[in-house]
Amino acid sequence: MTTTTTDGVLTAAGVSRPATAPRPTARILRRRAVPYLFILPALVLFAVFKLYPIGSSFLMSLYENVNGTQEFVGAGNYTRALDDPLLWTALKNTAIILVVQVPVMLALAVGIAVALNSTVLRGRAFFRLGFFMPTVTGLVAYGIIFAVLLNTQYGLVNWLLGLVGIGEVPWLTDPLWAKISLGLALTWHYTGYNAVIFLARLQSLPTELYDAAAVDGASAWQSFRHVTLPGLRPALLLTTVLSTIGTLQLFDEPYVLTGGGPDNATLTIGVYLYQNAFKYFDFGYASAVAYILTVLIGILGIVQFRLLGEKS
Amino acid sequence: MNQPPPDDPPRGGLDRRRLLGIGGSLLAAGAGTPLLGACSVTGATKAGRLGDPDRAAITVWSWQGPAAAMKALVPAFQTQHPGIDVTVQDIGNPAIWDKITTAMAAGGQGLADVLHIGVDYLPAYTEKFPDGLADLGPLGANRYRDAFADGMWQSVTRKGKVNALPWEANSAGFYYRADLFEAAGVDGEALATWDDAIDAGKKIKKATGVHLLGIDKPASQPDAANFFQMLLQLQGTFYFDAAGRITLGSPEAVTAMTLIKEMNDAGLVSDLAGGWTALENSIKSGTAAVLPWPTWFGSIIEGLVPKESGKWKVRLPPAVKPGGTTAATVNSTHLAVAGSSMHQAAAWAFVEYILTRPESQEAIYRSKGIAPALLKAYEAPVFHEPSKFFSGQHKGEIFLNALKARSPAVNYSADYARALKTVADAQTQVLLKGADPARALHNAADQLARQTGRELAS
């Protein structure tokens, strides 16, 4: 039996296919293309604002501006970096902050998270808010506030210390104290952020583990050491990696607080990179420093994942 | 009635071809962007256009005082050029340098039409971004070649191109608290050398407890080395010689740093850590008897401590060595037209109005105390009036004499910012760690040579 339709053609099987309907292969292609079309804008934006600068920056790192013209120097900027004492100073300063400030901050954050998670503590919401508040403060704003607070002659901190008979502390004007001041500022700003991550993890730990530990007669310390700390392992990995990346990219605080001084005592890789690009117009070298930094972050990230990551 | 083609979806939706077309355009835009990036890599700037000289909207970038001074002159300018609309923006200093640098690195994208640029940045901009600034010569700048203070024309021209027109020319000054000097029995006018000033500083410290001067010892701001730089210029040297070789290890540089160390070791130097705010606080609280700052600083002092009128005096700084020079043009600023500007003729009209008319410069001096580089401006009576604040002295004439005196040309070079940082670090080592001046400066010179590839002067 055959049937005709008003807008179709007659098929052998008597089933009509609309004249406007695509062929099956075209339909499949169209269906497959749809998701790609949806992600296309994001892909294009990513390519323009991320991939292109990354590639362009690498290209730039192979050039040097000589009298206004770009000259290809190949790995010249990278070999120059190896022999640059200021870059080594910046690396050393960054490493000191990484080794001293980050562990102190994370230990503090764990302590605060445990305290905030305790049912004994009253007004927990208030304290949680209090510890998290510094995190939302603008980087430059808090840098300026610390600079004012820690001013040797006119700062509030030295004034308060003076009230209890302690002489002027050269917070920002002595190389060692400047490093300590920078560490204090960073700790104040980021401890609450890490504490919130730890707190979230603590709240997901099964209470049965603590009950079992209690039944086995574990003390509070033993319970913390054998239940809490292993439970925090994924959060510790996350915060350590994030803090490492953040420290290696450190810019705002030393820039606002000390300008990298005195005598480069708080010069970080980020500040040095900025100085080379925007103060000395040495964009090629600054790009090379950026790539060195990227490689360092990558290596440290892998090492940390290996050391702290879950073993399957 | 036209039927839609077989594969078309209903009207109102996006068909595949159109979507692909849009996607293709976006990809093309993405692929085209590297070309813009390549522009920034080469440091090239898009060529601008002269535009209509009588009808345009132009923007000017400057900072605090000068911006206010220019804003005040805009209505008068517009009576002569009613078709040119001028917007003066106070970008702030030092923020303006980052803004100009970024825009120039982006091929001139987003630059204002008129740019206010200091002598410390001008050589770097012109060397690193050869097309970043318009050539003002063809616009008519060359006819003002001899209108400005000595040495100014060299600082704004490079390879025959006029990159800017000089605005202010600041001579080194020595502002001092005459009442404190008097209390210590010291005649400020009689100081012939900086060694005399150190002796006077000891007496003043003993009699009044006030330091001789202040320095930002940890170099929290780049201009912490201003005083050292001034001592160099008073000896006719700088960080680089005329050929661009590094002279940081020169005997003159060591002498200058040694003088600073002597002052510091004698307890005559207060710490101005914290930059400009600390400096202002120091003036308000009177912690230093001397402010070795250039011409424009007089109006700053007047503004900060108006009640101290009559207690202050001003003179040119003592020489470093007996019989040495006391005149030095320590800095200058300029107005330039962006190479990417589409209204270069109108921008030039504004620059010409501000900088080459004595009336404009006189108005700026009256309002902000900014000393003009335009010599004809000094014919105005305001530069020859006694200053009540400075004990009835003829402040304008003191600096005019310095400006007329022959002072050696200074080669800031494209590496000035790097040199300044290196010097500031060396000074910090001397002041905070007691480093030996000669050793600190030689190390600084070596480091600068390695960073810039420049030779050390013998």
Kindly report, residue by residue over B66-119, the tens digit of the pLDDT: 999 999 999 999 999 999 999 999 999 888 998 999 999 888 999 999 999 999
CB A272 within 8 A of CB A93: no
d(CA A150, nearest CA chain B) in Å: 10
- The answer for A 114-173 residues in CB contact with B (under 8 A) is 147, 151-154, 172-173
Phi, psi of B335 (to 5 degrees): -110, 130
pLDDT of residue A2: 41
pLDDT of residue B88: 97
Which three-class secondary structure state does DSSP give residue A254? helix
The whole-number pLDDT of residue A41 equals 94
Which of the 8 DSSP states describes residue B133?
B
Stretch among A161-170, B18-27, B157-166 having the lowest mean pLDDT:
B18-27
Q: Report the C-alpha gap between B73 and B354 in whole angstroms.
A: 8
Q: Distance, in angstroms, between A207 CA and closest chain B CA? A: 52
- Asked if B26 and A275 come within 8 Å (Cβ–Cβ), the reply is no
A80, A153, A157, A258: best mutation site toward chain B, by most B Cβ within 10 Å?
Answer: A153
Euclidean distance between CA atoms B88 and B168, whole angstroms = 18
**Average per-residue pLDDT in chain A?**
87
Please provide the DSSP assignment of A106-161 as one string: HHHHHHHHHHHH-TT-SSHHHHHHHHHHHHHS-HHHHHHHHHHHT-TTT-HHHHHH
- Mind telling me how many Å the CA of A78 is from chain B's nearest CA? 13
More confident residue, A154 or A80: A80
Per-residue pLDDT, averaged over A39-63, amounts to 94
pLDDT of residue B3 exceeding 60, the answer is no
Q: For chain B, what is the mean pLDDT?
A: 87
Q: How confident is the model at residue A274 (pLDDT cuts 50, 70, 90)?
A: very high
User: Above 70 in pLDDT, residue A64?
Assistant: yes
* pLDDT (0 to 100) of residue B247: 96
B7 pLDDT above the threshold of 70:
no
Read off the pLDDT of each residue in B128-154 and give the average, rounded to a whole number: 92
Q: Which residues of B touch A65 (CB under 8 A)?
A: 43, 128
Q: What is the pLDDT of residues B209-246, one digit of tens each?
A: 999 999 999 998 878 999 999 999 999 999 999 999 99
Q: What residue type is assigned to position B149 of the chain?
A: A
> Could you tell me the sign of the dihedral formed by the alpha carbons of B58, B101, B370, B401, in that order?
negative
Tokens of B174: 């020595």
> What is the count of residue pairs from A and B with beta carbons less than 8 Å apart?
130
Test A56 with B414 for CB contact under 8 angstroms: no
Please tell me the predicted confidence (pLDDT) of residue B15. 41
- Say what the pLDDT of residue A198 is: 95
CB B270 within 8 A of CB B276: no
pLDDT, mean of residues B285-295? 95
What sign does the dihedral A237-A243-A244-A249 (CA atoms) show? positive
Integer Cα distance of A304 and A286 in angstroms = 27
Q: How far apart are CA B412 and CA B414, in angstroms?
A: 7
Which pair of tokens denotes residue B196? 């005399």
Place of tokens 């100014």: B152
What pLDDT was estimated at residue A16?
52
Chain B, nearest residue to A51 by Cα: B30
Q: Which of B349, B371, B352 is nearest to B362 (CA)?
A: B371
Strands B329-337 and B114-118 turn out to be: antiparallel
The β-bridge relationship of strands B56-62 and B114-118 is parallel
Tokens 């790609």 sit on residue: A36
H or E stretch covering A212: helix A207-215
User: What local confidence, expressed as pLDDT, does residue B415 receive?
Assistant: 93
Find, among B317, B322, B350, B439, the residue nearest to B73 by Cα: B350
Q: Which residues of B touch A175 (CB under 8 A)?
A: 432
A118 CA to chain B: closest CA distance, Å? 43
Taking the Cβ of residue A42 and every Cβ of chain B, the question of whether any pair is shorter than 8 Å is answered with no
Compute the distance between CA of residue A56 and CA of residue A286 in angstroms, rounded to an integer.
13
Residue A168: which pLDDT band, with cuts at 50, 70 and 90? Answer: confident
Q: What is the pTM of this model?
A: 0.82
Cβ within 8 Å of B, A 69-108 = 69-70, 83-86
CA separation for the pair A232, A306 (Å, rounded): 16
Do the Cβ atoms of B128 and A83 come within 8 Å?
A: no
CB contact under 8 A, A173 and B218: yes
Taking CB atoms and an 8 Å limit, are B127 and A67 in contact across chains?
Answer: yes
Nearest to B281 among A154, A175, A258 (CB): A154
| B456 phi, psi to nearest 5 deg | -90, 135
Are the C-beta atoms of residues B289 and B180 closer than 8 Å to each other?
yes
Average pLDDT over residues B403-423: 88
* Identity of the residue in B40, B131, B428 whose CB atom sits nearest the CB atom of A262: B428
Lowest mean pLDDT among A155-159, B80-84, B406-410: B406-410
Strand partners, B246: B240, B456
- Whether B44 shows a pLDDT value over 60: the answer reads no
Strand partners, B59: B87
| Nearest CA distance, B108 vs chain A (angstrom) | 14
Put simply, the chain A residues between 212 and 251 with a CB less than 8 A from any chain B CB are none
Query: Would you say residue A15 has pLDDT above 70?
Result: no
Closest residue in A to B449 (Cα–Cα): A84
Q: For position A110, what pLDDT does the model report?
A: 95
Residue A118 has pLDDT above 50, yes or no: yes
Side-chain half-sphere exposure of A281, counting CA atoms within 13 A: 34
Contacts of A154 in chain B (CB under 8 A): 274, 278, 281
Which sign does the torsion angle of CA B356, B357, B362, B363 carry?
Answer: negative
Q: Does A30 touch chain B (CB under 8 A)?
A: yes
Stretch B390-404: mean pLDDT: 92
Instruction: List pLDDT tens digits, range A202-226.
Output: 999 988 888 898 898 888 889 899 9
**CA separation for the pair A277, A287 (Å, rounded):** 8
Count of CB atoms within 10 A of residue A262's CB?
29
Determine the Cα–Cα distance for residues B295 and B277; give it in Å rounded to an integer.
Answer: 20
pLDDT of res. A22:
60
Report the C-alpha gap between B173 and B401 in whole angstroms. Answer: 12
pLDDT in the model for residue A3: 43
d(CA B51, CA B343): 5
Residues of A whose CB is below 8 A from B433: 263
Contact check, Cβ <8 Å, A68/B128: yes
- The DSSP bridge pattern shows strands A8-9 and A17-18 to be antiparallel
User: What's the pLDDT at A185?
Assistant: 93
Across the interface, which of A26, A48, A172 has its CB nearest the CB of B218? A172
Q: Identify the helix (H) or strand (E) that includes residue B62.
A: strand B56-62
Residues of A in contact with B26 (CB under 8 A): 40-41, 44
- pLDDT of B32 > 70? The answer is no
Listed by number, the residues of chain A in 6-25 with a beta carbon closer than 8 Å to a beta carbon of chain B are: 19-20, 22
What's the pLDDT at B25? 36
Assess contact for B221 and B276: CB atoms under 8 A: yes
Read off the pLDDT band of B305 (50, 70, 90).
Answer: very high
Question: Please, which pLDDT band fits residue A9 given cuts at 50, 70 and 90?
Answer: very low
Distances (CA, A) of B59 to B126, B338, B341, B351: 21, 10, 10, 12
State the best of B122, B217, B220, B448 to mutate against chain A, taking most chain A CBs within 10 Å.
B220
Q: What number of other Cβ atoms are within 10 A of residue A232's Cβ?
A: 22
Of the segments A5-14, A35-44, B147-156, which one has the largest average pLDDT value? A35-44
Q: Does the pLDDT of residue B284 top 70, yes or no? A: yes
Return d(Cα B142, Cα A268) in angstroms, integer: 46
> Per-residue pLDDT averaged across B246-260, rounded?
97
Mean pLDDT of all residues in A265-273: 95
Confidence of residue A11 (pLDDT cuts 50, 70, 90): very low
Categorize the per-residue pLDDT at A251 as very low, low, confident or very high, splitting at 50, 70 and 90.
Answer: very high
Cross-chain residue pair A41–B26, CB shorter than 8 Å: yes
Who wins on pLDDT, A15 or A299?
A299
pLDDT for A18 equals 55
Mean pLDDT of B391-403: 92
Say if residues B211 and B268 touch (Cβ distance below 8 Å).
Answer: yes
pLDDT at B378: 93
pLDDT score of A26: 81
Per-residue pLDDT at B361 exceeds 90: yes
